[in-house]
Amino acid sequence: MKSDLEQLLGERGLDGLWVTGAAQNNPAMVYFTGAALITGADLLVRRGAPPVLFHHLMERDAAAATGLKTITYQRYPMQPLLREAGGDRVRAAALRAARMLAEVGLTSGRVAICGQVEIGPVWGALNALTGLLPGLELVGEGDDSVLMQARATKDPAEVERIRQVGKITLAVVDELLNYLTTRPLRGESLLDQDGSPLRMGAVKEKIELWLLERGLDVPEGTIFSIGRAAGIPHSSGDPSDPLVLGKTLLLDIFPAERRGGYFFDFTRTWCLGYAPEAVQDLYEQVEGVYSQVRARAFPGSAGGVLQDLACDLFESRGHATLRTDPQTESGYVHGLGHGVGLNIHEAPWLTGAAPGADILRVGSVVTLEPGLYYPEREMGVRLEDTLLVDETGAVPLLEYPKELVLPVPG
State how far the Cα of 126 lies from the Cα of 80, in Å rounded to an integer: 20
- The radius of gyration of the chain from alpha carbons, rounded to an integer in Å, stands at 25
Residue selected from 2, 47, 71, 141 as contacting a second copy according to rule CB under 8 A: 141
State how far the Cα of 361 lies from the Cα of 356, in Å rounded to an integer: 12
User: Which residue's CB is nearer to a second copy, number 8 or number 212?
Assistant: 212
Residue 170's closest CA among 124, 216, 228, 101? 216
Residue selected from 72, 189, 236, 330 as contacting a second copy according to rule CB under 8 A: 236
142 binding a second copy? (CB under 8 A): yes
CA 403-405-410 angle, to 5 degrees, is 140
135 binding a second copy? (CB under 8 A): no
Cβ 200 to a second copy shortest distance, Å: 16
Stretch that binds a second copy, among 43-51, 123-131, 244-252, 400-408 (CB under 8 A): 123-131
Cβ 111 to a second copy shortest distance, Å: 11
Cβ 295 to a second copy shortest distance, Å: 32
User: Which amino acid, one-letter code, is at 279?
Assistant: V
Per DSSP, the three-state class of 280 is helix
175 binding a second copy? (CB under 8 A): no
Q: Where are the beta strands (DSSP E) in 295-360?
A: 337-339, 346-350
Cβ 29 to a second copy shortest distance, Å: 11
Question: What's CA 243's distance to the chain center, in Å?
Answer: 29
| Number of residues forming the site for a second copy (CB under 8 A) | 39
CB 186 within 8 A of CB 394: no
User: Which residue's CB is nearer to a second copy, number 149 or number 285?
Assistant: 149
Residue selected from 35, 139, 207, 306 as contacting a second copy according to rule CB under 8 A: 139
Q: What is the DSSP letter of 269?
A: E
Residue selected from 105, 221, 276, 396 as contacting a second copy according to rule CB under 8 A: 221
Cβ 42 to a second copy shortest distance, Å: 11
Cβ 394 to a second copy shortest distance, Å: 27
User: Which residue's CB is nearer to a second copy, number 152 or number 394?
Assistant: 152
141 Cβ neighbours under 8 A, 6+ residues apart? 112, 114
Question: What's CA 264's distance to the chain center, in Å?
Answer: 7
Residue selected from 116, 164, 189, 292 as contacting a second copy according to rule CB under 8 A: 116
- Please, which of residues 145-174 interact with a second copy by CB under 8 A? 145
The total of other beta-carbon atoms located within 10 Å of residue 186's CB is 10
355 binding a second copy? (CB under 8 A): no
User: Which residue's CB is nearer to a second copy, number 210 or number 374?
Assistant: 210
State how far the Cα of 224 lies from the Cα of 201, in Å rounded to an integer: 8
User: Which residue's CB is nearer to a second copy, number 212 or number 302?
Assistant: 212
Cβ 196 to a second copy shortest distance, Å: 21
User: Which residue's CB is nearer to a second copy, number 145 or number 267?
Assistant: 145
Cβ 206 to a second copy shortest distance, Å: 11
Residue selected from 115, 227, 237, 273 as contacting a second copy according to rule CB under 8 A: 115
Q: What is the DSSP letter of 74?
A: G
80 binding a second copy? (CB under 8 A): no
**Region for residue 19 given its phi and psi (left: phi exceeds 0; alpha: psi -120 to 50; beta: otherwise):** beta
- Please, which of residues 15-74 interact with a second copy by CB under 8 A? 20-21, 25, 28, 37, 58
CB 350 within 8 A of CB 335: yes
CB 81 within 8 A of CB 92: yes
Instruction: Measure Cα distances from 249 to 15, 77, 254 in Å.
Output: 51, 58, 17
User: Which residue's CB is nearer to a second copy, number 118 or number 194?
Assistant: 118
Stretch that binds a second copy, among 64-72, 109-117, 316-324, 366-374 (CB under 8 A): 109-117
CA 10-16-18 angle, to 5 degrees, is 140
Residue 46's closest CA among 75, 15, 24? 15
What is the binding site for a second copy (CB under 8 A)? Answer: 20-21, 25, 28, 37, 58, 89-90, 93, 112-127, 138-145, 209, 212-213, 221, 234, 236
